[in-house]
Structure 1
Amino acid sequence: MDLFEMHLARYCAPTLLGAKAANLVSLDAQKVPALQGTVEAYNRQFAACGLAFTLLCECGRRSLLLVYRPALLARRLRRDGDVLARFGYAPGDTLDGHLARLRARLAQGGAFPHEIGLFLDYPADDVLAFVEKGGAGCKLCGYWKVYGDVEAARARFVCYDACRTCVLRAVEQGITLAQLLQAA
């Protein structure tokens, strides 16, 4: 079983199956050698499925990989453009422009750029409340800290769990992501 595919199955299943605009996975550079080449190969292989892969940060021994659906993510970021602008993102910028800005924010070091939650399809109100309250006082903690609509978040968490279970089961049975996504 390929370690890279197992990580994608475990941490990116909702995006792989189209239930979420993007997921982020942290990879140990020593355990996943030649990561840049792998990312390029996956981009070629999965572009027709509406998926893209980009390294956001190679921070010491860890690399942050964003797995995303460009059309969904672009739509999401347009919808929350006013919120992104609060974090210094150019209003009306392209998806590539926003990703470049996020990479730059990660490279600066210091405080983690919590607006990444918008890229990960978290509700804007929850992202803003998290920043405002420093992560304290949430109503529910799951894939993100929920400050707003708990029932909607619970429903999404159940959906994301089901995606993860489905994809992990398939990969554990020897089905590659390419085979799974062609069947989906």
Structure 2
Amino acid sequence: MKLECNKKCCENKSNSLYIKRILEMLGAVILGSKPAEIINVPGSKEDKKIKLSQIEAFFSNCSRITYRIITTHDGGKRVLFINEKSMEKVLVNKRCINFLKFVGYPADYQLNDYMDELVFRLQSEEFPHEIGVFLGYPLKDVLGFMGYGKNELVEVKNWRIYGDKEISYEVYNNFMRDKAIMKEMIETMNINELRRVI
């Protein structure tokens, strides 16, 4: 007996696989240890359109995170996912705000204005390396990477660590813990259950 594929079922399964992959990448953002994550959307123009519509369908009513779709100068697509509560915690740090002002962000801090400026810079030809602040990396590591800090490069994890490793390890371990929690949720829940808890 030959089994016929129910196309709708296969589409739903592939959609959920793509979303589950994204959820795994976003575990630390969804659970709050990381303020943001940026994800490239690969594939042809049509593939990108399909993936972006899947992202929109899943995340449009999400209570934990918001997102912004970015078209890069070369026509690429990226999605910036933001946990606004976590972002506010990062950006209330005076040192972070002063640094962002130093590299050209608005003098009066407003979360939406800073996100607008970051998106504008992500659309340009020159990549904004200060994005590390928005991604939750310790300021000392962002400064070191951009050539402003006095600290030397000591290690590379998910980002380049400069100077004292302890602060960076703590941040890294929090990210990894939340990713692991999300991975476990993905393995034990279907896409509809995930949608309800996220």
State if a TM-score over 0.5 links the two structures: yes
Give the secondary structure class of the aligned counterpart of 1:132: coil
- More moved, 147-156 vs 165-174: 165-174
Following the alignment from structure 2 to structure 1, what is the Cα–Cα distance between the partners of residues 20 and 76? Answer: 17
Q: CA deviation at 1:151?
A: 1.6
CA 1:165 to 1:75, structure 2 compared with 1: closer, same or farther past 3 Å?
A: closer
Q: CA deviation at 1:100?
A: 1.5
CA 1:62 to 1:171, structure 2 compared with 1: closer, same or farther past 3 Å?
A: farther
- Unaligned 5+ segments in structure 1 are none
CA 1:42 to 1:181, structure 2 compared with 1: closer, same or farther past 3 Å?
A: closer
Which of 101, 124, 130 pairs up with 2:145?
Answer: 130
Matched, 1:84 2:106: no
CA 1:183 to 1:43, structure 2 compared with 1: closer, same or farther past 3 Å?
A: closer
Give the secondary structure class of the aligned counterpart of 1:158: helix
Contact 2:68 2:79 in 1 (8 A): yes
Give the secondary structure class of the aligned counterpart of 1:139: strand
Following the alignment from structure 2 to structure 1, what is the Cα–Cα distance between the partners of residues 91 and 172? Answer: 21
Which of 57, 60, 65 pairs up with 2:71?
Answer: 57
Q: CA deviation at 1:32?
A: 4.4
Which of 137, 141, 153 pairs up with 2:156?
Answer: 141
CA 1:181 to 1:139, structure 2 compared with 1: closer, same or farther past 3 Å?
A: farther
Following the alignment from structure 1 to structure 2, what is the Cα–Cα distance between the partners of residues 37 and 183? Answer: 20
Which of 175, 179, 183 pairs up with 1:164?
Answer: 179
The letter for the 1-side match of 2:110 is T
Aligned to 2:166: 151
Q: Under a length normalisation based on structure 2, what TM-score does the superposition of the two structures give?
A: 0.75
Aligned to 1:121: 136
Q: CA deviation at 1:34?
A: 3.6
Q: Under a length normalisation based on structure 1, what TM-score does the superposition of the two structures give?
A: 0.80
Aligned to 1:97: 113
Q: CA deviation at 1:175?
A: 2.9
Q: CA deviation at 1:16?
A: 1.2
Q: Which has the larger radius of gyration?
A: 2
Give the superposed CA RMSD. Answer: 2.8
Deviation per CA, 1:86-105, whole angstroms, max 9, x where unpaired?
A: 11001223222112111221
Which of 89, 92, 96 pairs up with 1:75?
Answer: 89
Contact 1:52 1:69 in 2 (8 A): yes
The letter for the 1-side match of 2:168 is A
- Unaligned 5+ segments in structure 2 are 1-12
Following the alignment from structure 1 to structure 2, what is the Cα–Cα distance between the partners of residues 133 and 179? Answer: 45
Give the secondary structure class of the aligned counterpart of 2:70: strand
- More moved, 58-67 vs 69-78: 58-67
Deviation per CA, 1:52-91, whole angstroms, max 9, x where unpaired?
A: 1112334556422111111221332232210101110012
